[in-house]
Amino acid sequence: ICLTYQAEWSYKYETQWPGVCRAGELQSPINIMTRSAVVDYHEAHIRGPLGFRGYGDVKVAASNNGHTLKWSNIPDTPAPIVSGGPLRGNYTFLQFHLHWLSEHAIDGMKYPLEIHMVHIKTGLSVEEALKRPDGLAVMGVMGMVHSGGNSEYALDQIMPVIPDLMDRTEKDIEEKTIDMTRLFSPDPQSYYTYHGSLTTPNCQEVVTWIVMDKPLMISDSQYKMLLEVNVGARNNYRSLQATNRVVYRSVASCSAIIMPS
Ligand code: BO1
Ligand code: ZN
């Protein structure tokens, strides 16, 4: 009889993930069924469109943590803030990272890439945020592979550091100022939103998910380089979880609004 011990979780052994990952009811990612998504017109009306402040100049440090490529806001430098839409109050940007393939699906379709912009309820510590249902807000943007056109533009400022991140890094590298609006969906007011979890251990159910409807374009050669990055497995996405809940959509994602009488 052998007792084995895993030092760290991996995408290869998802069934052995610890924490809420094994037992949760509000887990992420999910398949978003667009025809079942409902507009909460009253709520959306109160908090209005999403508000984005300070995303044009963000000082970040990059790393490969063995699971993903991540660009983190440098502590004590100004951080962007998102508010409005489904959010109560402000959420401060912490980091963005990449999943290939996408984690969420939209009408059963997965995309080659999903960018996660992780935000924390302004004023809370991470420890506090991980204990509250409204502690974090993550914006998800899908990426679609395209050759030619302007498809280099979106990832242009984050690609140069990737050759130095092919393997797990001990420390964050290269502090650089980037324009995060390049990573935004072509229509950032058009989104699906629901209450879910972190998609990695310990899968705490503390996330207001805002998944953008319209994908951005990334180039063929950029995507090829991403696929070469060592994240301990070939891909770094969690499998789809049971929906069990209502998914909302923004008013802007509707082609027409029919008011109840
Ligand atoms: S995700 O966006 O659902 N894939 C996701 C998954 C895990 C985290 C964040 C987002 N982890 C948390 C860590 C904290 C850390 C925080 C911000 O990310 O649990 O320790 O401070 O980087
Ligand atoms: Zn993520």
Max Cα-Cα span within the chain:
68
Mean pLDDT of 197-201: 98
* Residue minimizing CA distance to atom 15 of ligand 1: 126
* Residue minimizing CA distance to atom 5 of ligand 1: 198
Neighbour-count burial for 133-161, b at 16+ CB within 10 Å, e otherwise: ebbbbbbbbbbebbeeeebbebbbbbbeb
Alpha helices, DSSP H, located in 148-230: 220-228
Report the C-alpha gap between 184 and 219 in whole angstroms.
16
Measure Cα distances from 3 to 8, 9, 16 in Å.
16, 17, 14
| pLDDT exceeds 80 at position 259 | no
Say whether the ipTM exceeds 0.90.
yes
- Measured from the alpha carbon of residue 65, the closest ligand is 1
Element (H, E) at 140: strand 136-146
Q: Measuring from each residue's beta carbon to the nearest atom of ligand 1, which residues come in under 6 Å?
A: 94-95, 116, 118, 126, 138, 198-200
- 108 CA distance to ligand 2 middle (Å): 19
Query: Which ligand 1 atom lies nearest to the CA of residue 197?
Result: 3
Report the C-alpha gap between 116 and 143 in whole angstroms.
11
Mean pLDDT of 37-58: 88
Residues with Cβ within 8 Å of 110's Cβ and at least 6 positions away in sequence, in order, are 101, 102, 104
Q: What's the pTM value of the predicted model, to 2 decimals?
A: 0.96
Interstrand relation of 191-196 and 248-249 (parallel, antiparallel or unpaired): antiparallel
Query: Which ligand 1 atom lies nearest to the CA of residue 199?
Result: 3
Are the CB atoms for 135 and 128 separated by under 8 Å? yes
pLDDT per residue as tens digits for the range 209-230: 999 999 999 999 999 999 999 9
pLDDT of residue 138: 99
Query: Which ligand 1 atom lies nearest to the CA of residue 99?
Result: 4
* Residue minimizing CA distance to atom 16 of ligand 1: 126
Mean pLDDT score of the chain = 94
Measure Cα distances from 66 to 3, 100, 108 in Å.
25, 14, 28
- Measured from the alpha carbon of residue 99, the closest ligand is 2
Count CB neighbours of 77 within 10 A.
12
| pLDDT exceeds 90 at position 174 | no
In testing the pocket of ligand 1, which one of 74, 198, 238 has its CB within 8 Å of the most ligand atoms? 198
Residues with Cβ within 8 Å of 115's Cβ and at least 6 positions away in sequence, in order, are 96, 97, 98, 140, 141, 143, 183
Mean pLDDT of 183-202: 97
* Residue minimizing CA distance to atom 8 of ligand 1: 198
* Residue minimizing CA distance to atom 10 of ligand 1: 198
